[in-house]
Amino acid sequence: MFTYLLLATVVLSPNPMLPAYDDVLVTQPYPGWYSAGVGCESGPGYMLAEDCYPTVDFIPYQVDLWLGFNPPGSVDEYNFGFQLDQSGSPEGLFFWNGTQDDVVYEDIGLSVWGLDFYHVIVTITDPPVLAAGQPCWFCFQAVSSTTVGCLVRNNIPSWNSQCYFSINNGESWQSSQSTWGAPFGVFMIISGTTGLDRSTWGSIKGSFI
């Protein structure tokens, strides 16, 4: 039964995804295989966090995730937030957060644990500026009372910290190692832009409309 952990391994054909923006803060796209799926729905307070380290000021405009739903189309909002790092984990306080509803779904042809999985592309409204050299954590949950599964991997790259899990909407955190016995990493992409403020970026986008 799915609670906040699903475990399985499968090999599928590669399915690389490219971000829509020129600059990328985190690039861990779903490659066609996974190690497990973990819950990230808001109903029971579940939330996931992945670390990021901007080397220059960065404005995140888009997040790509690989999530499963039952039924498909049951989620149209996501809570996103950023927390500062505290000794290698999220500190439990958001310096920015907001509910996002500009979402596109692309079916990836994977059904498991009673869930249908999609490449979920979320555009961030009024995003923050992440300061250069300041480690932080991107936190997210689907606004849903029904199960939402997030695909993860357990052979994370050496440069990446394991993801963290919350059962109280990001107020406190525990590592994936302590929660599930494996250092999982979330398949996701955070893309955006560097070196431009929001008004400049908005002007550039507007010129193409």
Q: pTM of the full predicted structure? A: 0.84
In a domain, 11, yes or no: no
Residue type, 98: G
Q: How many other CB atoms are found less than 10 A from the CB of residue 125?
A: 12
Domain of 153 in residue numbering reads as: 27-206
Residue-level pLDDT at 72? 79
The answer to the question of residue 127 being in a domain is yes
Residue 31 within any structural domain of the chain: yes
Q: Does 4 map to a domain?
A: no
Backbone angles phi, psi at 98, to 5 degrees: -175, 155
For 126, the token pair is 């009024």
Judge whether 126 lies within some domain: yes
Q: What is the pLDDT of residue 122?
A: 97
Residue 140 bridge partners (DSSP): 48, 80
Residue 139 and residue 163: Cα distance in Å, rounded? 10
Q: Supply the DSSP symbol for 36.
A: E
Listed in sequence order, the residues at least 6 apart from 6 whose beta carbon sits closer than 8 Å to its beta carbon are: 36, 37, 38, 112, 113, 149
- Please indicate, yes or no, if residue 16 is contained in any of the structural domains: no
Residue 143 placed within a domain: yes
Q: Does a structural domain hold residue 100? A: yes
Number of domains composing the chain: 1
Per-residue pLDDT 10s for the chain (209 aa) are: 233 444 343 333 233 344 445 588 998 899 999 999 999 999 999 999 999 999 999 999 999 999 999 987 889 999 999 999 999 999 999 999 999 999 999 999 999 999 999 999 999 999 999 999 999 999 999 999 999 999 999 876 655 689 999 999 999 999 999 999 989 999 999 999 996 554 444 444 444 44
Residue 157 pLDDT: 63
Long-range (24+ apart) CB contacts under 8 A made by 173-176 are 173/49, 173/89, 173/90, 173/92, 175/89, 176/38, 176/152
Using DSSP's 3-state secondary structure scheme, residue 199 falls into helix
